[in-house]
Amino acid sequence: MKIVVIGGTGLIGSKAVALLRQGGHEVVAASPKSGVNTITGEGLKEAMAGAQVVIDLANSPSFEDKAVLEFFEISGRNLFAAETAASVRHHVALSIVATDRTDNGYFRAKAAQEKLVVASGIPYTIVRSAQFMEFLSGIADSSADGNIVRLPPVLFQPIASDDVAAAVAEAALAAPRNGIVEIAGPERAPFNEIVARYLQAVGDPREVVSDPEARYWGGRVEERSLVPLGEARLGRIGLDEWLRRSQSRA
Ligand SMILES: NC(=O)c1ccc[n+]([C@@H]2O[C@H](COP(=O)([O-])OP(=O)(O)OC[C@H]3O[C@@H](n4cnc5c(N)ncnc54)[C@H](OP(=O)(O)O)[C@@H]3O)[C@@H](O)[C@H]2O)c1
């Protein structure tokens, strides 16, 4: 089967490409570096020729509210025009748990991306993931004020990128759900506790303070704002195992 992975050079994209190639599929790792750009449209027609499945794992180079919204809207429109012309049979998109019930600029952009997927007329599966463990460092930085990291004690369930890539590859090989699959890590604990465990393990001296008023990327979050509410596919790699693996790779 020919599968196009948009964002195939990224964190999740490169792992999904490797898994699908191991399974014997013909995989195009599409990204600006390989001459495929969903914003300009460059290379899209050629990449899509003969493809049955497209997996969209691209991300915006800028996380500024307006820029990220424009990225996912323009990228989505160009992608669906090319996929429709090529009669693609299944579109898989990677989104975020709770994009529809948590308010911040990045989540609004992902919600707009999801709307385009549903309206595209192409059979689809939306995989909504909890935050990646690889993103813990970025979260700590975004919530830091000097040596203090303020985070709300809401529930948090990060997932390792290896587990995300496996779930995305599985979704791409299954029939389209025309719906949403949620995925998260195997452990659920307060946000501040998980980030404190992470910082301690990597030898970062910053102190994590539990602050119910602290925001997540500028948005207010409640106890269950960041975790799946219903049944979710759980990853196999817990935080301690992920830390061991990343430290042995370093
Ligand atoms: N971070 C989280 O916790 C989290 C949680 C749930 C879902 N997600 C979603 O997961 C997805 C993948 O994230 P990631 O961290 O794997 O991304 P990443 O490592 O930042 O990779 C981004 C990819 O997008 C490609 N790209 C950028 N502009 C493009 C364009 N104009 N046309 C085509 N490709 C373009 C990049 O290509 P080049 O290498 O050529 O620049 C790269 O392959 C994102 O959609 C994100 O919203 C993230």
Give the Cα separation of 135 and 133 in Å (integer): 5
Q: How confident is the model at residue 101 (pLDDT cuts 50, 70, 90)?
A: confident
For residue 34, the ligand 1 atom closest to its alpha carbon is 40
CB atoms near residue 64 (< 10 Å):
12
Strands (E), the chain: 2-6, 26-30, 53-56, 90-96, 124-129, 144-145, 148-151, 155-156, 179-184, 189-190, 207-210, 233-234
pLDDT (tens digit per residue) in 19-43: 999 999 999 999 999 999 999 999 9
Q: What is the pLDDT of residue 102?
A: 85
For residue 97, the ligand 1 atom closest to its alpha carbon is 6
For residue 106, the ligand 1 atom closest to its alpha carbon is 47
Expressed in angstroms and rounded, the spacing between residue 51 Cα and the centre of ligand 1 is: 21
Two tokens, residue 6? 């948009």
Average pLDDT of the residues in 201-212:
96
Give the Cα separation of 196 and 123 in Å (integer): 41
Expressed in angstroms and rounded, the spacing between residue 56 Cα and the centre of ligand 1 is: 9
Please name which of 64, 58, 16, 17 lies closest in space to residue 40, comparing C-alpha atoms. Answer: 58
Q: How confident is the model at residue 186 (pLDDT cuts 50, 70, 90)?
A: very high
Task: State the pTM of this model.
Answer: 0.97
Residues with CB under 6 A from ligand 1: 6-7, 9-13, 31-33, 36-39, 57-59, 61, 94, 96, 110, 129, 131-132, 135
Q: What is the pLDDT of residue 247?
A: 87
Mutate to test the pocket of ligand 1, among 4, 11, 31 (most ligand atoms within 8 A of CB): 31
CB atoms near residue 119 (< 10 Å):
10
Please name which of 145, 215, 155 lies closest in space to residue 185, comparing C-alpha atoms. Answer: 155
The mean of the pLDDT values for the chain is 96
Judge whether 132 and 190 are in contact, CB under 8 Å: no
Q: How confident is the model at residue 144 (pLDDT cuts 50, 70, 90)?
A: very high
Mutate to test the pocket of ligand 1, among 57, 91, 102 (most ligand atoms within 8 A of CB): 57
